[in-house]
Structure 1
Amino acid sequence: MENKIYQAGDIVYVFYRNPHTQDVANIQAAAVVNNPEITGGLALFLYETYYPLSNELALYSSQEEANQAYNYYYGNDSEGVL
């Protein structure tokens, strides 16, 4: 999370691996929401699932930033770009 403070309602971008095809990663927009399981905590809401926010998640504030990181890690392949 790179020490950025997120608030419920923020939209962020993450790399998401298809659970059926693990060698495919895409950039996906996700919402930062109040964690329904931890009072006062935040979670990432993606595909109808809540993921607790932690420093283990690579979140990007903009689609452009996510695209740059995607190209860095996965090569200059536009397949993963939103």
Structure 2
Amino acid sequence: MELFNDNQRYQPGDIVYVLYRNPHTQDVANIQAAAVVNNPENANELALFLYETYYPLSNEIAVYSTEEEANQAFEYIYGPASEGTWE
């Protein structure tokens, strides 16, 4: 199974980067690496494995092939990181 996301082809085993918003503190977001895996609940779908949880991989999730692309998107959305802050 493959998924095309913004003309990118993903396969199980790929490592990708997503912008992840902390569910407990909504004003905190960071870049997180995630693994593309077969969805354990649906064999015909791919999923992202992130923080011990499976998320369906769909075109509704912004997925970046490189950390550099994710950093550029992060800065576009949230502005440049200030000195002394963590991304």
Unaligned stretches of 5+ residues in structure 1: none
RMSD: 1.2
The corresponding residue for 2:68 is 64
The corresponding residue for 1:39 is 43
Q: Is this contact kept in 2: 1:31–1:45, CA < 8 A?
A: yes
SS in 2 for 1:32: strand
Given the alignment of the two structures, is residue 3 of structure 1 paired with residue 16 of structure 2, yes or no? no
The corresponding residue for 2:18 is 14
The corresponding residue for 2:56 is 52
The corresponding residue for 1:75 is 79
Distance 1:66 1:24 in 2: 16
Q: Is this contact kept in 2: 1:13–1:63, CA < 8 A?
A: yes
Aligned residue type for 1:20: H
Percent identity over the alignment? 73
- Larger fraction in helix: 1
Query: 1:80: Cα distance to partner?
Result: 5.2
Q: Is this contact kept in 2: 1:70–1:80, CA < 8 A?
A: no
Unaligned stretches of 5+ residues in structure 2: none
- Larger gyration radius, structure 1 or structure 2: 2
